[in-house]
Structure 1
């Protein structure tokens, strides 16, 4: 039996000058955001893109609050990565949990792992464990930041730096929108950014444990997210205006 080769971290392809320019632009974008808005928050998953944004926030000394969605179904490596990041940067990352009654309502209707049954139960689980907690985490904010990139999937090809989050009535920024996967990993290597352990095991994109798997070489980098669904269903709803 042939063991499949899984995705691995790309080799660095940027020159130091190119990387320095990208880093400068990223910090300028963050500085401009905090100049325009008084309460800016960043939702981090602790995966590579979000670690780049976290690193830039700290080095730019940008007044941006960090939080993570503690869904209750995360890999232990992700839970541990929160403390690793806090210790490395000397910051506090707020952990936002789902409401027990919302989770129980999902389980009562679909079962603990009912999200495997199709798009609707998947949306319902993400709604209880991620979207409602995100809404709570952004209460009072006037802007928020993501680590999304255009290159990540077919659903993000039109991504812009700034957009209006109609669902929440606030500004939303994607400061890495024009970065490539190679750019991300070049920055991580150059700046000695902590790496999520699952990236070293063939996971380019990391979400909840039952909904994330390793990706084979040559597959789309988000192929391991909700792999039982179609390619246009690779979003949990966090980044879909409702």
Structure 2
């Protein structure tokens, strides 16, 4: 089932009780989030405000789990994405913390290369991501011992080996991907079941949503991240936020 169909169904259908299989996944997710909050004095969830992250937002806020939520406001986001911050405030009474890039670095990049130089090479694209996403993320995570993401293995080839628990080697903190084994169908079934607000761009064929100039709608048969940096090869479609190693490997390295 396509993302557009999933969104249409989510918008037009009454709440649907989760199947026993989904109910089991939800129970496991809730237990995992509770465990993460209990294991870490300070933990944050990085939300892109897309479907998976709205699922986790609901799972955290509707149950009062002690996990803070923030978003990276890159300065190039769609208006629809920014509008989700208001929808979260209206629905849950929660103000998502926003982290912005350093304006001096943005200006320096634009002066040296041009505002949209990221189309010219992977190197310039990654530099733009470093300024607008990675550096703000580093500031967001400076005071925590763990963070949570909405990544799933099914999303793309670059995430096929995703682990539920990892070690973020770049920041030396724990990292959790509680939806790692969830399918797209699972995500949208959850959103329907709990009437969770979703980004309207999903209904227009955007399963993965990033900065406006770097994101397009996907075509039939493409994976969910094909619309991100579509001018690049499939194996470069990450922005540098997710440099991690499996927790088992981290333990082995520490004892080596």
Within a 5 Å distance, the mapping from 1:57-76 to structure 2 comes to: 57-76=60-79
Deviations 1:191-221 (A, max 9, x none): 1000101001111110000000011111111
Match of 1:107 among 107, 110, 126: 110
Q: 1:162 aligned to 2:165?
A: yes
The one of 51, 55, 77 equivalent to 1:52 is 55
- After TM superposition, what 4+ stretches of structure 1 lie above 3 angstroms from structure 2? 9-15
1:60 alignment partner, SS class? coil
Contact 1:71–1:130 (Cα < 8 Å) also in 2: yes
Q: Which region of structure 1 is more displaced relative to structure 2, 77-86 or 11-20?
A: 11-20
**Change in 2 beyond 3 A, CA 1:39/1:9:** farther
Q: After TM superposition, give the deviation of residue 16 of structure 1 in Å.
A: 2.0
For residue 33 of structure 1, give the secondary structure of its aligned residue in structure 2: helix
How far 1:50 moved relative to its partner?
Answer: 0.3
Counterpart of 2:166 in 1: which secondary structure? strand
Confirm or deny that 1:21 pairs with 2:24: yes
Q: 1:167 to 1:14 in 2, by over 3 A?
A: farther
Q: How many residues align?
A: 237
Which ranges of structure 2 fall in alignment gaps of 5 or more residues? 11-15, 246-256
Q: How many angstroms does 1:237 deviate by?
A: 0.7
Deviation, structure 1 residue 177: 0.4
Task: Give the Å deviation of 1:85.
Answer: 1.3
Contact 1:31 1:60 in 2 (8 A): no
Unaligned runs of 5+ in 1: 1-5
Q: 1:8 aligns with which of 4, 9, 26?
A: 4
Q: Which residue of 2 aligns with 1:3?
A: none
Aligned equivalents of 1:29, 1:130: Cα separation in 2 = 27
The Cα shift of 1:61 comes to 1.7
Provide the C-alpha distance between the structure 1 equivalents of 2:57 and 2:97, rounded to a whole number of angstroms.
13
Distance of 2:105 and 2:183 partners within structure 1:
37
Q: How does 1:182-201 map to 2 (within 5 A)?
A: 182-201=185-204
Cα shift at 1:241: 4.2
Q: TM-score by structure 2 length? A: 0.89
Q: What is the aligned partner in structure 1 of residue 242 from structure 2?
A: 239
Other-structure match for 2:224: 221
The equivalent residue for 2:13 is none
